[in-house]
């Protein structure tokens, strides 16, 4: 029977703690404005700038390799060239999709 009493006393203490926790005033948190999501134009501009940077790095590495500078390996030049090529192709595909979407919207009946 003492276990039953112990259990009941424990449950009463837990309920009292729960009621005490619920009764406490919750601190008011001042909501800070969420970080503004970048606009589509900003993201597109960043993508164009990154493609341009990849092409610039590729051409600089190719020129350095052609001039025989030390530390510039053919594999690094080829990787940079392929990276620039792939990024340019991806940007071209995005442009094509945007043009197609624009044309589809313009052809919609009003």
**For 27-52, what is the mean pLDDT?**
80
Q: Report the Cα–Cα distance between both ends of the chain, in Å, rounded.
A: 81
| The pLDDT value given to residue 110 | 80
> Does the pLDDT value for residue 55 go beyond 90?
yes
pTM score above 0.75: no
What are the extents of the domains in the chain?
Answer: 40-106
Would the pLDDT of 2 be above 60?
no
Provide the pLDDT confidence category of residue 29 given band limits of 50, 70 and 90: low
């Amino acid at each position: 029977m003492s276990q039953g009493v112990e259990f009941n006393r424990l449950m009463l203490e837990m309920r009292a703690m729960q009621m005490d926790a619920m009764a406490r005033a919750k601190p008011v948190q001042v909501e800070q404005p969420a970080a503004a999501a970048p606009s589509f134009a900003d993201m597109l501009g960043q993508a164009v700038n990154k493609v341009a940077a990849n092409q610039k790095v590729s051409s600089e590495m190719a020129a350095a390799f052609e001039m025989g500078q030390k530390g510039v390996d053919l594999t690094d030049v080829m990787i940079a060239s392929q990276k620039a090529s792939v990024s340019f192709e991806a940007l071209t595909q995005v442009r094509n999709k945007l043009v197609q979407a624009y044309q589809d919207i313009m052809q919609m009946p009003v």
